[in-house]
A and B are shown apart, each in its own frame.
Chain A
Amino acid sequence: MIAYIVRRTLYAVPILIGVNLLTFVLFFVVNTPDDIARSQLGDRRVTVQAIDTWKRSHGYHKPLFFNENASGPGKVTDTVFFDKSVRLFGFDFGRSDSGRDISYDIGQRMWPSLAIAVPTLVVGILVNITFGLVIVFFRGTYIDFWGVVTCVTLLSVSSLFYIIGGQYLLSKLFHLVPISGYDTGVNAFKFLLLPVVVGVISGIGSGTRWYRTLFLEEIGKDYVRTARAKGLSEQVVLFRHVLRNALIPILTGIVVVLPLLFMGSLIVESFFGVPGLGSYTIDAIQRQDFAIVRSMVFLGSVLYIIGLLLTDISYTVVDPRVRLQ
């Protein structure tokens, strides 16, 4: 397995170089270094000289990908792309274009993202599995029918609607929780309640449908028939046999998203005023802060690769027949 992990890690290097290159190309198609400088210096009374000085002090004065004036390897290494990329691979994100330390900000902002994402994921899985099992238990009945109808309705609704609806009902109308905001420690609870409830409810439709499908697939298998033939009660069949065997796709589905929980949610964080990494990225895009954008894209890619690797490893854990080579 170690050889497999090493091989996958090595595969990740060209992927990350590709992602980084793509980020560069896409970003600089719409933003020139002059644009970045202007967005940092402001529009008013900015002189050409000020723009040049800013670019020089932030390393944007060099050619983007190929330096014709340099000699030897310098043609490639003495460029914006090389300068900015090499550090990324050492996880040195450097400073944002506005001067703040990116690693420090990521360290600060990942906790609020996790504070919402983890409970939403855990509670969401429990609720969805429960609903999925209940619907499967009553398969073929009106509960199954209306359950599926409700799920389809729920998953057809935009997540923005849940957020605004949740804020309107629970906070504006019933005054039960703060409409937005965040705090640290125990005080965070009252702020997290609404985004977590909204996150769970907005995920019920798709989650329950997904788990229902998984359970239905399992419930038709021979071992389930055998279990019933042995005289086991339906709840024992469902919880001890069906659920356990359905765990493989459930677990792999969960493991792959685990690293991405750090990255936060753009809309939820924005509407609930949560200072997480989701809003950090969207802010950076709006401000044309390339240093943050490429760092966050790079981090997202690394986390995604880690997620996929963990998924592969988790297969071997939940199903001993699987071996990674």
Chain B
Amino acid sequence: MYRLALLIFCVSISPASFALWNNPYPAAQIEENILYSSFSERPKHLDPVRSYSSDEYAFIAQIYEPPLQYHYLKRPYTLVPLTAVNMPRVTYFGADGSVIPGDAPVNDISFTEYEFQIQPGIQYQPHPALAKNKRGEYLYHSLSREQVSRVHELSDFAQTAARELTAADYAHQIKRMANPQLHSPIAGVMAQYIVGFEALSEEIETVLSGLKEGAFLDLLEFRLEGVTVVDRHTYRIRIRGKYPQFLYWQAMPFFAPIPWEAERFYAQPGLKERNIALDWYPIGTGPFMLTENNPNLRMVMARNPNFHGEHYPATGDETDRSAGLLADKGQPMPFLDSVVYSLEKEAIPRWNKFLQGFYDNSGITSDSFDQAIQFNSQGQAALTAEMRDRGIRLSTAVATSMYYMGFNYLHPVIGGSGERARKLRQAISIAVDFEEYISIFRNGRGVAAHGPIPPGIFGHQQGRAGINPYVYDWVNGRAERKPLGSAKQILREAGYPDGIDDETGKSLVLHFEAIGSGPDEKARLNWIRKQFQKLGIQLIVRATDYNRFREKMLKGKSEIFMWGWNADYPDPENFLFLLYGPNSKAKNNGENASNYVNPEFDRLFEQMKNMENNLQRKTLIDQMVSIVRRDAPWTWGFHPQDFSLQHAWVRNHKPNLMANNTLKYVRIDPKMRATQRQQWNQPILWPLILIGVLLGIGVIPAIFGFHRHEKSTAL
């Protein structure tokens, strides 16, 4: 008996039995088809009407399904139907209500109507809001206080049910966007376009003012003029004028359907106090549903049993084929059974868990960059031997974003359309060496920008035709920043020889608005200061917090600043509008942070913004880019390059910076992962034994000392 007990004890403490002591997940999951990843920011909102950030989209884009989506593999980014049967039918109307052709002049188009036809038979995920009794009454729409008191999570409701997705659900969500109580960030934009949107907002506001706090507002009782439900699976949205970019919004969760039952269910008294709200418990038709919602610890999504089914894309280019991205073509998706996101605030544990195989993918922080990436002699990024030995793969993609250094056009010295100020800005644009910036502060992860349009967006030009001739020369087949002498010459022409104002004879002093003052930021600011020093310009850094920075920008009190923009959709309008005069931040609270204004640019923008992508539009864009390069309201900064790592067992990963619903395409090999984890994480016990032995050795003299002390006499 004793021997048996001893054997059990020995076996139980042996490394093999505790294989993977450092496994943060239940041992039973070791070979399950689960993707493990992390999130660093607790999502603020999971209601598609409010969410507008990538950390929230990581969840809700897998759950909610707007009518359209981006093709996973195709580049440039292309919209394809998601729940819609086809791309919407677009009809244009003149001022008299007559139908006019799409190629009619933009000014002749008074309204555009999009007709969406939704696939029949799509079901919502199982949800208590949809559960009914035998009499067809909703089970949980009239909860008593006692029932509510027993509920702590959504899963505490015993019954769930689903129902078919209808066109009315899409219409309902658009009405929700107009509800001022829900604070949709794009309500302002949609009010400009969707017919009747603003009127509905005002009507709801009036009704709300007469309602008690927390009372349910039934949006079914309201009518939105611009949205019509044609039949069970068809709806139309009517917008003012022509706005082709409206389709891109249809691929964002803002336009995903919400069943009215969910709103009624969550509005019941007592549920909100338990944080059971639509903002935290989504209800969608997508491939996954949220099964564990603990934004403080872990978010778990499981395969939606009612998912309507979708097949892996069958088309891609040759690069996709050679990368094995078409191996699963035509296969039903999703491939994963579940996805576990763990909250990981700090980069060090996140990175180490990735290396141990407990996260399937990872970004690369500056701390871990040298361990993961090395540059070859051609300056191309590649994985280090350590990463390659682990079978880790690197994916890179230039983001549809840009970071720029902006000049406030309202400033009397650096701003304005005068020749002197323009030349000053041009000289600074040459002197501020963003190639060096990318190398020092971003570990080479970025591409110096030549204009406001990033690669991958219509209107961006590569090669010689795409260079900014005011800052770069084309030398030996590549863009080369002009020598500093050119900048000094331009500065001299501007009336600031060697940075001395020839009118006053004093040094030119400019001010840079900086956010933050940590050690990393200090190095960056010193670098920026040095770039100006190269021209003899004295740059004074005014460091502040983000709130004050934003306030200065809103009031137009800044001089020089750095800011960025991440595309909402892959259209040049989404970048060029950042320089459109009427979008001035100081004057109209718009997104034109440098308050740049050029009537010719504005005229061309108005012409270009609502056009389809064609040669005429391209010509207009080229003219606009040429104008802003000359005026230099920004030094064009850089387009960041996203680096991400995947373990060998992760398949079908292709960076898609527009699509957010990409988890359904990902496949993993759980067996391979289990084997690798076992190999990489065997517990090492000898240090514990060594510590025990050392402690024992340390205690022996103390024991002797104790006995000696006890036996010694007082005198």
Contacts and interface: CB of A to CB of B under 8 A. Distances in A.
Contacts of B274: 101, 104
Contacts of B684: 173-176
B319 interface: no
Given A35-B547, A283-B42, A41 B183 contact: yes
Given A41-B185, A141-B705, A271-B349, A234 B275 contact: no
Interface string B339-366: 0001111101100110110100000000
A234 B705 CA distance: 12
B547 A31 contact: yes
B275 A100 contact: yes
Nearest to B42: A283
A190 B343 CA distance: 17
A213 interface: no
Contact of B688 (A172, A176, A179): A176
Contact of A275 (B23, B297, B688): B297
B352 A172 contact: yes
B681 A104 contact: no
Nearest to A228: B714
B550 A234 contact: no
Interface string B180-212: 110101111100000000000000000000000
B348 A101 contact: no
Interface string A163-199: 0100101011111111111100001001100000000
A147 to B, nearest CB: 10
B682 interface: yes
B412 to A, nearest CB: 27
B702 interface: yes
Contacts of B181: 57
B702 A273 contact: no
A73 interface: no
Nearest to B273: A101
Interface in A7-58: 30-32, 35, 38, 40-50, 53-54, 57
Given A35-B547, A101-B272, 8 more contacts: A31-B547, A40-B44, A42-B185, A47-B187, A138-B705, A179-B353, A180-B344, A273-B343
A181 B24 contact: yes
A53 B349 contact: no
A137 to B, nearest CB: 7
A288 to B, nearest CB: 8
B296 A280 contact: yes
Contact of A234 (B20, B188, B545, B710): B710
Contacts of A176: 21-22, 683-685, 688
Interface in B318-354: 342-346, 348-349, 352-353
A287 B181 CA distance: 21
B183 A143 contact: no
Contacts of A98: 44-45
A254 B687 CA distance: 33
Interface string B18-49: 00111110100000000000000010110000
A275 B545 CA distance: 27
B342 A273 contact: yes
B702 A175 contact: no
B294 A275 contact: yes
Interface in B673-708: 681-685, 687-688, 701-702, 705-706
A109 B296 contact: yes
A83 interface: no
B189 A32 contact: no
Contacts of B312: none
Given A45-B185, A182-B297, A273 B44 contact: no
Contact of A105 (B20, B26, B275, B685): B275
A270 interface: yes
Contacts of B550: 35, 38, 43
Residue among B186, B343, B355 with most chain A CB within 10 A: B343
Interface of A: 30-32, 35, 38, 40-50, 53-54, 57, 98-101, 103-105, 108-109, 134, 137-138, 141, 143, 164, 167, 169, 171-182, 187, 190-191, 228, 233-234, 270-273, 275, 279-280, 283, 287-288
A179 B22 contact: yes
A50 B683 contact: no
B585 to A, nearest CB: 11
Contact of B188 (A40, A45, A172): A45
A54 B343 contact: no
A317 to B, nearest CB: 33
B471 to A, nearest CB: 28
A273 B349 contact: yes
14 contacts: A42-B52, A45-B189, A50-B187, A98-B44, A105-B275, A134-B702, A141-B705, A143-B702, A164-B348, A175-B681, A176-B21, A178-B24, A179-B24, A234-B709
A108 B26 CA distance: 22
B189 A167 contact: no
Given A99-B277, A171-B352, A50 B21 contact: no
Interface in B36-89: 42, 44-45, 52-53
Contacts of A109: 296
A100 B531 CA distance: 46
Contacts of B296: 105, 108-109, 275, 279-280
B272 to A, nearest CB: 7
Contacts of B642: none
A30 B344 CA distance: 28
B107 interface: no
B279 interface: yes
B169 interface: no
A225 to B, nearest CB: 11
A234 B712 CA distance: 11
A233 B710 contact: yes
B347 to A, nearest CB: 10
List the 7 closest pairs (A to B, CB-CB), nearest first.
Answer: A275-B296, A47-B188, A178-B24, A181-B24, A180-B349, A35-B547, A275-B297
A19 to B, nearest CB: 23
A323 to B, nearest CB: 39
Contact of B275 (A46, A101, A143): A101
B346 A137 contact: no
A191 B342 CA distance: 14
A35 B274 CA distance: 28
B589 interface: yes
B591 interface: yes
A35 B275 CA distance: 25
B57 to A, nearest CB: 12
A178 to B, nearest CB: 4
Given A98-B45, A283-B42, A50 B356 contact: no
B342 A181 contact: yes
Nearest to A108: B296
B353 A180 contact: yes
B346 A270 contact: yes
A41 B44 CA distance: 10
B153 to A, nearest CB: 11
Interface in B279-325: 279-280, 294, 296-297
A45 B187 CA distance: 9
A283 B275 CA distance: 18
Contacts of B26: 187
A143 to B, nearest CB: 6
Given A176-B688, A179-B352, A50 B188 contact: yes
Contacts of A171: 22, 352
A178 B22 contact: yes
A44 B24 contact: no
Interface in B591-640: 591
B183 A50 contact: yes
A167 B348 contact: yes
A103 B245 CA distance: 43
Contacts of B279: 99
